[in-house]
């Protein structure tokens, strides 16, 4: 019996039954030994993360421990609806809660945003000089993109163009997309008053100028604040350890870590790519409890990789900056850019990113 | 003048940065100084290129194709090939014979090619080949370049994307130069001169001499060392510096941009750590890249980011003349086949 974990309690002391059910839904199957082992609740999950929700400080908490969603249940996610997420490079932002957002008014918001963009273009802040573009705005809800019932459904914003010069039947060209999402982001949503909508993670794909336009409209309309979400080397190492351990049916791409030593007189970049089977084999011997990762295990995994490298090259990789990690599941860059390759692991990846976003907000 | 040639000249001039056009046309050497004087470089690039085409039409058709050579100087990837002679006979190198045999061999396999030669002062023969197909004219925008120093068995090739023509190119080279065989070395770079430095051994080599005392008056400190600290770790720093010199030599390093290692070695860990202990290799691919890789590696130990001496896998790059490696385990040390 996992007595080490107490029942889930929020800051007000109330229990959170719904979250336990969510946690149960998250795990793939009950523990094999049949013992009535309490699945660690989400509360514990978030508290333990080095992504740093503990008391709002970014950093490693003493019990850095994360429970993996492993293979998240597929019923919640329609692969077709979420296909747009895959294989694109998304730039990450954290967003503070939106005030006064009404789910029923999406069409009105689309109209207002469209008018705002047109007005900005009139002002001379044209996004593309010399090109006559009609920008069409579409807002839609992504009911499937949420973790638990406590999460808000995702919100997708798309900017398309129809060139005035082309014929009436020409197709709209998608110029830019951005979506708000909360994947098990309950830690934030339970603490906010009424009238606030929590969608802490914002992902964009497309020109920076459009991101600025959409961002400033949301900021003005819902009194929220956007900030670029950087990913620290520590968090990148968590991601690579976690993703290297996932099983993939087909031959996957290598587990790659990219290090940079920018401050040398001749900057040096090192790409360290490991065969995915070998990386998984190493991680499997490091990870002691299936379904759970600790900070210590991530550190050992990284130390093993550093040691193997040092044995050959006599270079201390730990002295370099980890800037990018890439696996068959997903890749992440320290500037806050991710690419997700597998719909099966989408919830897990989004959950991590939501955590990062929330810790940046708090 | 052939329409495609005129177009080629016009497009190539347009690709040049405006402030470098004059210099590149001079280097090209096709137009005389007098002709260059007549050009107005202060007008639109479109007009400049038109004027250049008009001037070229006056000249006899000859080696104008080397015009694009100077634009892509450092963007092209060069590979090094080594040729092997059949016997010991020293044959007198006849350039006319070489050109004839080279052209003959290529043309016997492929009709639609453009082959141009140019000789430079340092005994280098440059060959430019534009490839076509039986049904298409040669593509002037993706040529292969070959640089051959006739007194050496080395050839530098920048193949371009049409890799299927590489075997034919290699064959033509050995036929023309009277060699028996040609093989590709594991050495690639954007800097042709650095490749030449390495294979012709024109860099300062690391001689294994023992110097009991460091040279007086020379500064051990790294760039960002604190000037107030005079004696700290002086002996350590001197030792690192000396070991670095031994590994890399004293002079400037040839300029390479990357090195790649395919590791097929075992993963060895501290038994206490209770981790992976497989009997199969831990397969990795490591790539180093830098604007100046060797200087970068040389700076690591003094800054504390690496041990001194640096691994021989890295320090052997110049004297083994390779930057692509496959490393297998062999008892206690590493071998690269």
Q: Is the pLDDT of residue A19 over 70?
A: no
Q: For residue B31, give its domain range.
A: 3-62
pTM listed for this prediction? 0.77
Give the tens place of pLDDT for each residue, B207-260: 544 444 444 434 444 445 556 666 667 788 888 888 888 888 777 888 899 999
- Does the CA dihedral B41-B46-B47-B48 come out positive or negative? positive
Instruction: Please report the number of interchain residue pairs, chain A to chain B, with beta-carbon separation below 8 angstroms.
Output: 117
Does B273 sit within 8 Å of A264, measured CB to CB?
no
Domain stops at, among B38, B62, B86? B62
Which residue, among B161, B107, B105, B152, has the nearest Cα to B125 in the 3D structure? Answer: B152
CATH code for the domain of B282: 3.10.20.720
Nearest to B290 among A267, A274, A281 (CB): A267
CB-neighbour burial class of residue A33 (10 A; exposed 0-12, middle 13-18, buried 19+): exposed
**Residue A173: which H helix or E strand, with range?**
strand A173-181
**B54 and B77 fall within a common domain:** no
Is B208 part of a structural domain of the chain? no
Nearest to B305 among A304, A307, A319 (CB): A319
**B82 and B195 fall within a common domain:** yes
Q: Is the pLDDT of residue A35 over 70?
A: no
Given a contact cutoff of 8 angstroms between Cβ atoms, the answer to whether A320 and B304 are in contact is no
Q: Is the pLDDT of residue A173 over 90?
A: no
Domain stops at, among B151, B169, B199? B199
CA distances, B52 to each of B13, B72, B116 (Å): 8, 19, 20
Tell me the ipTM for this assembly.
0.76
- Does the CA dihedral B197-B201-B204-B205 come out positive or negative? positive
Chain B residues with beta carbon closer than 8 angstroms to that of A269? 288-290
The per-residue pLDDT for A166 is 56
CA distance B78 to chain A (A): 21
**B148 and B223 fall within a common domain:** no
Q: Is the pLDDT of residue A29 over 70?
A: no
What's the average model confidence in pLDDT over B3-9? 80
> What gap in Å lies between CA A105 and CA B280, rounded to an integer?
60
Give the tens place of pLDDT for each residue, A197-224: 999 999 999 999 999 999 999 999 999 9
**Omega within 30 of 0 (cis) for the link into B309:** yes
> Which tokens go with A171?
């197709």
Return the HEC string of chain B: CCHHHHHHHHHHHHHCCHHHHHHHHHHHCCCCHHHHHCCCCCCCHHHHHHHHHHHHHHCCCCCHHHHHHCCCCCCCCEEEEEEECCCCCCCCCCHHHHHHHHHHHHHHHCCCEEEEEEECCCCEEEEEEEECECCECCCCCCCEEEEEECCCCEEEEECCCCHHHHHHHHHHHHHHHCCCEEEEEEEEECCHHHHHHHHCCCCCCCCCCCCCCCCCCCCCCCCCCCCCCCCCCHHHHHHHHHHHHHHHCCCCCCCCCEEEEEEEECCCCCHHHCCCCCCCCEEEEEEEECCCHHHHHHCCCCCCCECCCCCHHHHCHHHHCCCEEEEEEECCEEECC
* Chain B touched by A248 (CB under 8 Å): no
Mapping DSSP to helix (H, G, I), strand (E, B) and coil, where does residue A11 land?
Answer: coil
Structure letter (DSSP) for residue A148: S
**Residue A155: which H helix or E strand, with range?**
strand A154-163
Chain A residues with beta carbon closer than 8 angstroms to that of B311? 312-315
**B10 and B41 fall within a common domain:** yes
CATH code for the domain of B146: 3.30.160.690
Is B29 part of a structural domain of the chain? yes
| Residues recorded for chain A | 362
Given a contact cutoff of 8 angstroms between Cβ atoms, the answer to whether A157 and A177 are in contact is yes
Give the tens place of pLDDT for each residue, A66-105: 655 544 444 455 677 788 899 999 999 999 999 999 989 9
**B86 and B37 fall within a common domain:** no
Give the tens place of pLDDT for each residue, B257-289: 999 999 999 888 766 666 666 778 899 999 999
Residues 310-349 of A with CB under 8 A from B: 311-316, 319-320
Q: Give the total number of structural domains in chain B.
A: 3
**B95 and B181 fall within a common domain:** yes
**B78 and B195 fall within a common domain:** yes
Does B261 sit within 8 Å of A309, measured CB to CB?
no
- Residue B89 banded pLDDT, cuts 50, 70, 90: low
């Amino acid at each position: 019996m996992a007595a080490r974990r107490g029942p889930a309690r929020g800051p007000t002391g109330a229990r959170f039954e719904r979250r336990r059910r969510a946690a149960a839904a998250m795990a793939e199957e009950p523990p094999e030994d049949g013992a009535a082992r309490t699945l660690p609740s989400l509360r514990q999950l978030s508290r333990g993360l080095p992504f740093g929700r503990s008391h709002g400080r970014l950093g490693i908490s003493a019990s850095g421990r994360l429970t993996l969603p492993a293979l998240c249940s597929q019923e919640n996610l329609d692969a077709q609806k979420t296909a747009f997420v895959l294989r694109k490079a998304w730039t990450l932002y954290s967003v503070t809660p939106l005030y006064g957002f009404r789910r029923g008014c999406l069409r009105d918001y689309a109209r207002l945003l469209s008018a705002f963009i047109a007005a900005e273009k009139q002002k001379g802040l044209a996004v593309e000089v010399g090109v006559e573009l009609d920008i069409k705005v579409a807002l839609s809800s992504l009911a499937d993109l949420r973790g638990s019932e406590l999460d808000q459904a995702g919100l997708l914003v798309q900017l398309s163009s129809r060139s005035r010069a082309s014929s009436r039947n020409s197709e709209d060209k998608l110029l830019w997309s951005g979506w708000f999402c909360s994947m098990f982001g309950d830690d934030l949503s339970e603490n906010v008053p009424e009238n606030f909508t929590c969608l802490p993670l914002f992902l964009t794909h497309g020109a920076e100028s459009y991101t600025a336009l959409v961002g400033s409209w949301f900021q003005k309309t819902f009194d929220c604040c956007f900030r670029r979400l950087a990913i620290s080397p520590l968090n990148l190492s968590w991601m690579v350890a976690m993703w290297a351990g996932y099983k993939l049916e087909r031959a996957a791409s290598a587990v790659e870590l990219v290090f940079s030593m920018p401050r040398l007189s001749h900057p040096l970049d090192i790409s360290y790519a490991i065969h995915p089977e070998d990386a998984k084999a190493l991680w499997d011997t490091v990870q002691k409890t299936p379904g759970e990762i600790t900070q210590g295990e991530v550190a050992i995994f990284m130390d093993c990789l550093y040691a193997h490298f040092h044995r050959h090259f006599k270079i201390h990789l730990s002295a370099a900056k980890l800037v990018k990690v890439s696996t068959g599941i997903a890749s992440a860059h320290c500037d806050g850019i991710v690419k997700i390759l597998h719909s099966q692991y989408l919830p897990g990846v989004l959950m991590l990113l939501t955590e990062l976003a929330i810790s940046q907000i708090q | 003048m052939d329409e495609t040639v005129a177009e080629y000249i016009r497009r190539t001039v347009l690709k040049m940065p405006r402030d470098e056009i004059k210099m590149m046309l001079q280097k090209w050497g096709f137009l005389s100084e007098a002709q260059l004087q007549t050009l107005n470089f202060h007008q639109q690039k479109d007009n400049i290129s038109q004027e250049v085409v008009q001037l070229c039409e006056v000249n006899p058709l000859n080696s104008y194709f080397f015009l694009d050579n100077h634009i892509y100087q450092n963007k092209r990837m060069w590979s090094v090939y080594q040729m092997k002679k059949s016997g010991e006979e020293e044959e007198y190198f006849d350039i006319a014979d070489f050109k004839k045999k080279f052209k003959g061999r290529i043309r016997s396999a492929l009709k639609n090619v453009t082959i141009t030669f140019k000789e430079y002062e340092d005994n280098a023969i440059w060959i430019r080949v534009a490839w076509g197909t039986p049904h298409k004219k040669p593509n002037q925008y993706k040529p292969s370049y070959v640089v051959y120093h006739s007194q050496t068995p080395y050839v530098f090739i920048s193949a371009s994307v049409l890799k299927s023509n590489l075997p034919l190119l290699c064959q033509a080279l050995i036929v023309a130069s009277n060699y028996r065989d040609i093989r590709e070395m594991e050495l690639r770079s954007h800097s042709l001169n650095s490749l030449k430095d390495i294979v012709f051994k024109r860099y300062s080599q690391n001689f294994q001499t023992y110097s009991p005392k460091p040279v007086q008056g020379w500064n051990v400190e790294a760039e960002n060392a604190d000037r107030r600290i005079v004696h700290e770790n002086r002996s350590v720093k001197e030792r690192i510096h000396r070991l670095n010199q031994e590994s890399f030599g004293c002079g400037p390093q040839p300029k390479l941009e990357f090195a790649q290692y395919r590791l097929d070695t075992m993963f060895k860990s501290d038994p206490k750590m209770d981790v992976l202990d497989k009997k199969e290799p831990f397969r990795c691919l490591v790539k180093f890249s830098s604007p100046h890789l060797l200087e970068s590696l040389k700076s690591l130990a003094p800054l504390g980011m690496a041990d001194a001496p640096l691994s021989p896998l890295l320090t052997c790059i110049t004297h083994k003349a390779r930057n692509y490696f496959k490393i297998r385990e062999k008892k206690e040390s590493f071998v690269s086949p």
